[in-house]
Chain A
Amino acid sequence: MNFSEVFKLSSLLCKFSPDGKYLASCVQYRLVVRDVSTLQILQLYTCLDQVQHMEWSADSLFILCAMYKRGLVQLRITVWSLCTKSVSYIKYPKACQQGITFTRDGRYMALAERRDCKDYVSIFVCSDWQLLRHFDTDTQDLAGMEWAPNGCVLAVWDSCLEYKMLLYSLDGRLLSVYSAYEWSLGIKSVAWSPSSQFLAVGSYDGKVRLLNHVTWKMTTEFGHPAAVSNPKTVVYREAEKSPPPGLGHLSFPPSRAGTRPLAALESKYEIASVPVSLQTLKPAADRANPRMGVGMLAFSHDSYFLATRNDNVPNAVWVWDIQKLRLFVVLEQLAPVRSFQWDPQQPRLAICTAGSKVYLWSPAGCMSVQVPGEGDFPVLSLCWHSSGDSLALLSKDHFCLCFLEPAEGRAALGQQDSRT
Chain B
Amino acid sequence: MGDWMTVTDPGLSAESKNISQYTSETKMSPSSLYSQQVLCSSVPLSKNVHSFFSAFCTEENIEQSISYLDQELTTFGFPSLYEEPKSKEAKKELNIVAVLNCMNELLVLQRKNLLAQENVETQNLKLGSDMDHLQSCYAKLKEQLETSRREIVGLQERDRQLQCKNRNLHQLLKNEKDEVQKLQNIIASRATQYNHDMKRKEREYNKLKERLHQLVMSKKDKKIAMDVLNYVGRADGKRGSWRTGKTEARNEDEMYKILLNDYEYRQKQILMENAELKKVLQQMKKEMISLLSPQKKKPREKADESTGTVISDVEEDAGELSRESMWDLSCETVREQLTNSIRKQWRILKSHVEKLDNQVSKVHLEGFNDKDVISRQDHEQETEKLELEIQQCKEMIKTQQQLLQQLATACDDDTTSLFRDCYLLEEKERLKEEWSLFKEQKKNFERERRSFTEAAIRLGLERKAFEEERASWLKQQFLNMTTFDHQNSENVKLLSAFSGSSDQDNRTVHSKPQQKKPPSVSHGSPVCTSNVTKSLPASPTLDSCQMSSCVSEHSSISVLNITPEEMKPNEVGRECTNQTWSVASRPGSQEGCYGGCSLTYTSSHVQKDDLP
Contact = CB atoms under 8 A, between A and B. Distances in A.
Nearest to A103: B258
A141 B191 CA distance: 12
A150 B240 contact: no
Given A78-B226, A117-B202, A128-B247, A83 B255 contact: no
Contacts of B203: 117
Interface of A: 62, 72-73, 75, 78, 80-86, 107-108, 114, 117, 125, 127-128, 130, 132, 140-141, 150-152, 161, 169-171, 183
B243 to A, nearest CB: 6
Contact of B259 (A80, A86, A107, A169): A169
B255 A171 contact: yes
A368 B201 CA distance: 50
A150 B262 CA distance: 8
21 contacts: A62-B232, A72-B226, A78-B226, A81-B228, A82-B228, A82-B231, A107-B258, A108-B255, A125-B254, A127-B251, A128-B240, A128-B241, A128-B243, A128-B251, A130-B243, A130-B248, A132-B252, A140-B195, A171-B259, A183-B184, A183-B187
A125 B233 CA distance: 21
B198 A84 contact: no
B228 A85 contact: yes
Nearest to A86: B240
A117 B199 contact: yes
Interface stretch (B43-51, B208-216, B388-396): B208-216
Nearest to A162: B191
Contact of B233 (A62, A83, A152, A183): A83
A114 B216 CA distance: 21
B224 interface: yes
- Nearest first, the 8 closest Cβ-Cβ pairs linking A and B are A84-B240, A152-B262, A117-B199, A125-B251, A82-B232, A83-B234, A117-B202, A75-B213
Nearest to B196: A117
A170 B262 CA distance: 11
Contacts of A62: 232
Contact of A81 (B202, B240, B248): B240
B323 interface: no
Nearest to B199: A117
B226 A80 contact: yes
Contacts of B195: 140
Contacts of B262: 150, 152
B216 A84 contact: no
B256 interface: yes
A183 B187 CA distance: 7
B239 interface: yes
B234 A152 contact: no
A86 B259 CA distance: 29
A96 to B, nearest CB: 13
Given A78-B226, A84-B239, A73 B258 contact: no
Contacts of B243: 128, 130
A117 B243 CA distance: 31
A117 B256 CA distance: 31
Given A140-B195, A170-B258, A84 B226 contact: no
A114 B239 CA distance: 34
Contacts of A82: 228, 231-232
A170 B255 contact: yes
A72 B198 CA distance: 27
Given A82-B232, A86-B240, A140-B195, A75 B258 contact: no
B265 to A, nearest CB: 8
Contacts of B252: 132
Contacts of B228: 80-82, 85
A104 to B, nearest CB: 12
B247 A75 contact: no
Contacts of A85: 228, 231
A80 B254 CA distance: 23
A125 B247 CA distance: 10
Majority secondary structure, A binding face: loop
Contacts of A128: 240-241, 243, 247, 251
Given A62-B232, A128-B240, A128-B243, 12 more contacts: A72-B216, A72-B224, A83-B240, A84-B231, A107-B254, A108-B255, A125-B254, A128-B251, A132-B255, A169-B259, A170-B255, A171-B259
A117 B198 contact: yes
A85 B240 CA distance: 9
Contacts of A108: 255
Contacts of A150: 262
Interface in B526-573: none
B213 to A, nearest CB: 5
Contacts of A130: 243, 247-248, 251
B255 A75 contact: no
Nearest to A84: B240
Contact of B198 (A107, A141, A169, A170): A141
Contacts of A84: 231, 239-240
Interface in B387-442: none
Contacts of B254: 107, 125
Contacts of B224: 72
Nearest to A213: B266
Contacts of B184: 183
A227 B254 CA distance: 51
Nearest to B180: A183
A80 B230 CA distance: 12
B202 to A, nearest CB: 5
A151 B258 contact: yes
B322 to A, nearest CB: 32
Contacts of A183: 184, 187
A83 B231 contact: yes
A85 B195 CA distance: 42
Nearest to B241: A128
B226 A171 contact: no
Contacts of A86: 240
Contacts of A83: 231-234, 240
B71 to A, nearest CB: 109
Interface string B162-199: 00000000000000000000001001000100010011
B258 to A, nearest CB: 6
A140 B198 CA distance: 10
B226 A73 contact: no
A125 B257 CA distance: 14
Nearest to B183: A183
A107 B261 CA distance: 15
A92 B251 CA distance: 23
A171 B258 CA distance: 10
Nearest to A169: B259
Contacts of B225: 72, 78
Given A82-B228, A132-B251, A152-B258, A75 B212 contact: yes
A128 B249 CA distance: 13
B387 to A, nearest CB: 38
A25 B203 CA distance: 42
Nearest to B202: A117
B191 to A, nearest CB: 8
Contacts of B241: 128
A84 B240 CA distance: 7
A25 B142 CA distance: 98
Contacts of B255: 108, 125, 132, 170-171
Contacts of A73: 212, 216
B272 to A, nearest CB: 15
A171 B263 CA distance: 13
A170 B231 CA distance: 32
Contacts of B251: 125, 127-128, 130, 132
A32 to B, nearest CB: 22
A170 B259 CA distance: 7
A130 B248 CA distance: 7
B226 to A, nearest CB: 7
A170 B252 CA distance: 11
A86 to B, nearest CB: 6
Contacts of A107: 254, 258
Contacts of B213: 75
